[in-house]
Amino acid sequence: MEQATETIHAGPAAIRHVLLDALALPEWNEAFLDIDGPAEADLGTGYALRVRPGFAGELQYTVVEPDRIEITWQVPGFREVGTWTIAADSRVTHTFEQSGPLATVLRPAYRNIATIRLARLANRVRQLTHAA
């Protein structure tokens, strides 16, 4: 399991907005090339997903709570369960677990990815709050 924590200087609502904008996830998560499905996060709905280097799969929101969002995505040979925990003080903890034969091969490439994802999330939140 990989884990990182960062304080994102925006309110929890702004952070949740970015995490729950399913169709915009590829704008800040480099692994995702394209996501197709409902514009707003729909718990349990399967979103069509394309990831680098072009694998097709599915993404689902499996938990949507005020302080916790869980996203599961998979492509052939790879499955990830990622959790984003959002504290009232805007501290965000991201954890993820990966499984499958492809995950075993890619494990070295995913070191520090939780930290990188948090930095990209913070940047996306900043972009949206400054644009508003």
Mean pLDDT score of the chain: 94
What is the distance between the alpha carbons of residues 52 and 35, in angstroms, rounded to a whole number? 12
Element (H, E) at 126: helix 113-131
- In terms of CATH architecture, what is 2-131? 2-Layer Sandwich (3.30)
Per-residue pLDDT at 2 exceeds 90: yes
H-type alpha helices, 49-109: 101-106
Reported confidence tier of residue 132, pLDDT bands at 50, 70, 90 = low
pTM of the entire predicted model = 0.93
Per-residue pLDDT at 27 exceeds 80: yes
Instruction: Give yes or no for a contact between 26 and 120, defined as CB atoms under 8 angstroms apart.
Output: no
